[in-house]
Amino acid sequence: MFDRLLKNLLSSEPEEMLDTDARVALTALLVRIARSDGDYAENEKATIREIVAKRYGLDEGLAADLMHHAEVLESEAPDTVRFTEAIKNAVPYEDRTSVVEAAWQVVLADGDRADEEDALMRLIAKFLGVNDRDSNIARKRAEG
């Protein structure tokens, strides 16, 4: 699974992702955000598991399994620019704005917005093609 997904992420023209690949890729992006400040805290992991369980209708075990696959993919995935651009090309805009909201939930999970996380969020929103207005709306929803 990872070979096919990584090949698609690295392709100059990514194909539309299979639903299972998109789930892993989007979860891996959340893992990358959580790891960006050098402190992959348990509350961030729990937030990601809760997000994916709710988003995809998964029980606790399946959410944990998805997290495991996402952590492996994140460690092998290309740089954030290519990673997010590949997701942008494969995921509709509405889903990308909800990914930005989920990403803000992860950033806010530990109660500390590190400069690295803010910088990465600006980059991710930009490369996902989510405009500043929609990213700010997503952040406010995540805060609420």
DSSP letter for each residue of 21-79: HHHHHHHHHHHHHHHTTS---HHHHHHHHHHHHHHHT--HHHHHHHHHHHHHHHHHS--
Alpha-carbon torsion angle 63, 64, 69, 71, nearest 10: 110
Q: What is the pLDDT along the chain (144 residues), one digit of tens a residue?
A: 556 666 666 565 655 666 677 788 889 889 999 998 888 989 999 999 999 999 999 999 999 999 999 999 888 876 787 778 777 877 788 888 988 999 999 999 888 788 888 888 999 999 899 999 999 999 999 998
Number of domains in the chain: 1
Look up the CATH number of the domain holding residue 29.
1.10.3680.10
Domain extent for 41: 2-143
